[in-house]
Amino acid sequence: MMDHRRYSLQWGDVPASVAPYVPTPISVVRKMLELSKAGVDDVVYDLGCGDGRILFTAVEEFDVKKAVGYELNPSMYETARLKVERKGLQGRVEVIKGNFFLANLSGASLITLYLTTSGNAKLRPKFERELRGGARVVSHDFPVQGWTTVKPGLSNPYTVGSHRLYLYRIPDSYEAGTDIRRSPREESRWRRIRDIFLHDDDRG
């Protein structure tokens, strides 16, 4: 298994970084794309794309039109870029070495996130300004505070084992906050993952 810590920038190494590199398990990636109904009309943006796994799964398994990833960490950017080349997906997967806060998100129909609660909060005004009506935002483990999740007819938020997925739709989600309840098992994993990820302002 890849030791992702080898590639990680630590918190604060890059001023714009709002999360360290921790990969989403592929089974959870699939659920994120399934839950958000990723499909042929979608342009997916993964903000902080790591090794590109969400981009590749979106194109190869969900046949999305295009997948775009932003990544600040040079090693992860290079890993994702080389994979694009190796897979011959240059026409459909674009990996951009840079800060997603500087990106124009208006072309996205689906945003995928695995950041932090405070990172999501910093992105929220940008989402509300730039995303078009009908666009979805799906976030692994961390909610967009102040937004209401789309109820997929299942639990709210959706869980994959101890992983939580938060699905939002523009502009319907700009309303009341989510009610977050965790089982003891979820709470224990949440504490572990929170310690890997978070600044003081994310705790709670």
Ligand X SMILES: C[S@@+](CC[C@H](N)C(=O)[O-])C[C@H]1O[C@@H](n2cnc3c(N)ncnc32)[C@H](O)[C@@H]1O
Q: Which CB, 25 or 177, lies closer to ligand X? A: 25
Q: Which CB, 113 or 135, lies closer to ligand X? A: 113
Q: CA–CA separation, 28 vs 83, rounded Å?
A: 20
Give min distance, CB of 127 to ligand X, in A: 14
Give min distance, CB of 74 to ligand X, in A: 9
Count how many Cα atoms sit within 13 Å of the Cα of residue 82 in the half-sphere of its side chain. 8
Give min distance, CB of 22 to ligand X, in A: 4
Q: Using CB under 6 A as the criterion, which residues of the chain lie in contact with ligand X when the complex forms? A: 9, 16-19, 21-24, 46, 48-50, 53-54, 70-73, 76, 99-101, 114-115
Q: Which CB, 48 or 157, lies closer to ligand X? A: 48
- The secondary structure element, H or E, covering residue 69 is strand 66-71
Q: Which CB, 57 or 173, lies closer to ligand X? A: 57
Cis peptide bond upstream of 157, omega within 30: yes
Question: Is the CB of residue 131 less than 8 Å from the CB of residue 111?
Answer: yes
Question: Is the CB of residue 140 less than 8 Å from the CB of residue 32?
Answer: yes
Q: Which CB, 171 or 193, lies closer to ligand X? A: 193
Q: Which of 140, 97, 105 minimizes the C-alpha distance to 123?
A: 105
Give min distance, CB of 100 to ligand X, in A: 4
Q: CA–CA separation, 81 vs 48, rounded Å?
A: 13
Give min distance, CB of 15 to ligand X, in A: 9
